[in-house]
Amino acid sequence: MVYLKSIDAIGFKSFADQTNVQFDKGVTAIVGPNGSGKSNITDAIKWVLGEQSAKSLRGSKMEDIIFSGAEHRKAQNYAEVQLRLDNHSKKLSVDENEVIVTRRLYRSGESEYYINNDRARLKDIADLFLDSGLGKEAYSIISQGRVDEILNAKPIDRRQIIEESAGVLKYKKRKAESLNKLDQTEDNLTRVEDILYDLEGRVEPLKEEAAIAKEYKTLSHQMKHSDIVVTVHDIDQYTNDNRQLDQRLNDLQGQQANKEADKQRLSQQIQQYKGKRHQLDNDVESLNYQLVKATEAFEKYTGQLNVLEERKKNQSETNARYEEEQENLIELLENISNEISEAQDTYKSLKSKQKELNAVIRELEEQLYVSDEAHDEKLEEIKNEYYTLMSEQSDVNNDIRFLKHTIEENEAKKSRLDSRLVEVFEQLKDIQGQIKTTKKEYQQTNKELSAVDKEIKNIEKELTDTKKAQNEYEEKLYQAYRYTEKMKTRIDSLATQEEEYTYFFNGVKHILKAKNKELKGIHGAVAEIIDVPSKLTQAIETALGASLQHVIVDSEKDGRQAIQFLKERNLGRATFLPLNVIQSRVVATDIKSIAKEANGFISIASEAVKVAPEYQNI
């Protein structure tokens, strides 16, 4: 008897979370209101036992058994049910006391079956429960209305139930399988007879073909021998060509290394030139700024100088005018002084003459009073003379008054002229001081202007030298750029040759081009996977020779496919080194010791080169 111990379900219908139902021995009843999931337990059992009909599981499609989510729960991506069965009776064809049967369904439609956590098929599940009373259609699961179906079943359906209970169904199924196999065997025998009949008619032609094949084998052996001879000759030729190509490749690699060194050196020079050019640009900018400032200062001082020159010119004109006015005033003063002196002399002369006239008049008056009677005639004459003298005296008095007035005016004018002359002298003194100051300012400005002009000339010279140096650096930079472009072109050419495998044999070249395309498992040529120090390049190439062009593959199968690839396209030959069969070879210790003592010994070749760990056996 097989007992169901427990059911574990997750994501199956209403069992969103991990749900475990334990079944003890005896009767276990599951009760609950409608819709609580009681029937889902029997559906889960039927589903694990292999039920394939969604309708039998009360759904429209199989995906409906996966939990589809709720208001606060997201849907599951799969459904899984696990039955744990007690097999102490060994009713099930498993050598363990406990059998765990698991079925899992994903939303993609993929199903998985497990027996004791081992992957199984649906057929394995059906065979496991055959004749055990368990199964998707077995009477061990009686659903609602199932009893009426059994009671009202047809005799043949009842017979199946009885045979299942009696264990006959298993043997009937095996009988059906055996009969099916017998039918298949009879069909196979019939086919064999047909084939034998067909082959009997082909025996004679096959004998002739066998003779032809035997002759072909002989000729093929001869052809293979000839191919070997030709191959040996080709290998020798290829070896010579390879040696020349290796030498050429070595030369080109040396040239490339030199070009790379030159390129690096030029790159450094370019960076230096760029730095110097940047510094020169800064210097030029600084000099231009200084030149602008100096030009502004030059223009400022030139303007000041022009102002000073204009002021000097104006002061010179003013000074000349004042000097001329001074000379005129001095001349006028001299004239006035002369006039005053002449007037004073005239005044003195008139005063003297007046005194003389007064004396004569007094004398005449005395004479007049003395000789009134005696000299009437004389008196008349004297009167006339007196009147004449009085008239002359009046004229002299008038002249004296006029001269006094003139002298007073001239004195006043002289006083004013003296004051004006003092003012003129003061102004002239101020002007001369201003002229002196202006001359000093002019000389200082002229000196500063000369210094600025000299500085401008120095800046212009420095700017010219800087521009000249900049042009030289730019020319060097351009030459370096041209050389760099030339080296880039050369390097691109070498890279193109390397990409096109120009220096490889024709067959090797086509194999490498077909890597990861038509052919799989190709690693590359020996020359591509080893890293050789530059000073040992020629020695390693000489030692390896044509072996540098041997192609490394994953396995013999990949090598045979590559050979077939070359034969079908008539692309030449190539030698292949399968990683799965190549064994590493180690130089004996005694030989290594002898080699180390030899003159000129550098290193063992296998120790001098570097390769990835997976290529150590190569």
| Site of tokens 């900018």 | 285
DSSP codes joined into one string, 207-224: HHHHHHHHHHHHHHHHHH
Architecture of domain 506-615: Up-down Bundle (1.20)
- Per-residue pLDDT at 474: 75
**What distance in Å separates the CA atoms of residue 93 and residue 132, rounded to the nearest whole number?**
10
9 pLDDT band, cuts 50/70/90, is very high
Q: Would the CA dihedral through 365, 367, 371, 377 be positive or negative?
A: negative
Token code pair at residue 443: 């000389």
Please measure the distance between the N-terminal and C-terminal CA atoms of the chain and give it in whole angstroms.
64
Average pLDDT estimate for 593-599: 76
Using one digit for the tens of pLDDT, what is the confidence trace for 373-390?
Answer: 555 666 566 667 666 766
Question: Cβ atoms within 10 A of the Cβ of 217, count?
Answer: 10
Report domain extents, the chain: 3-166, 258-497, 506-615
Give yes or no for a contact between 294 and 460, defined as CB atoms under 8 angstroms apart.
Answer: no
C-alpha 481/C-alpha 502 separation (Å) is: 29
Structure tokens at 387: 């009147």
| b (16+ CB within 10 A) / e for 51-61 | beeeeebeeee
Distance in angstroms (rounded) separating the CA atoms of residues 192 and 212: 27
Candidates 50, 45, 44; CA nearest to 11 is: 44
* Confidence (pTM): 0.32
Least confident segment among 210-214, 319-323, 443-447, 455-459? 319-323
Residue range 3-166, CATH number: 3.40.50.300
pLDDT number for residue 312: 61
Strands lying side by side in the sheet with 78-86: 19-22, 3-10, 78-86, 98-106, 111-115, 118-120
Q: For residues 318 and 430, what is the distance between their CA atoms, to the nearest angstrom?
A: 11
pLDDT (tens digit per residue) in 110-147: 999 999 989 999 888 887 877 565 655 555 666 666 66
Q: Which residues contact 170 (CB under 8 A, 6 or more apart)?
A: 130, 131
Average pLDDT over residues 450-463: 76
Which residues fall within 8 angstroms of residue 557, CB to CB, at 6 or more apart? 521
Average per-residue pLDDT for the chain? 75
For tokens 């293979």, what's the residue?
Answer: 224
- Alpha helices by DSSP H, listed for 536-601, are 537-544, 556-569, 589-597
Q: Rounded to whole angstroms, how far apart are CA atoms 222 and 216?
A: 10
Strand, helix or coil for residue 280: helix
Q: With the C-alpha atoms ordered 185, 186, 187, 191, is the resulting torsion angle positive or negative?
A: positive
CB 138 within 8 A of CB 160: no
Q: Which of 1.10.3470, 2.60.40, 1.10.287, 1.10.490 is the CATH number of 258-497? A: 1.10.287
Token pair in block for residue 514: 């077909």
Those residues whose C-beta lies under 8 Å from the C-beta of residue 29, and which sit 6 or more positions away, are none
| CA distance linking residue 482 with residue 492, whole number of Å | 15
* Greatest mean pLDDT range, 43-47, 51-55, 204-208, 419-423: 43-47
Residue 6, pLDDT score: 92
Per-residue confidence band for 102, with pLDDT thresholds at 50, 70 and 90 = very high
The region of weakest confidence among 9-18, 205-214, 578-587 is 205-214
262 φ/ψ sector (left φ>0, alpha ψ -120 to 50, else beta): alpha
Q: Is the pLDDT of residue 579 over 80?
A: yes
Give the residue from 551, 533, 543, 519 showing the smallest Cα distance to 615: 551
Q: How confident is the model at residue 535 (pLDDT cuts 50, 70, 90)?
A: confident
In this predicted structure, what is the pLDDT of residue 371? 47
Question: Could you tell me the pLDDT band of residue 296, with boundaries at 50, 70 and 90?
Answer: low
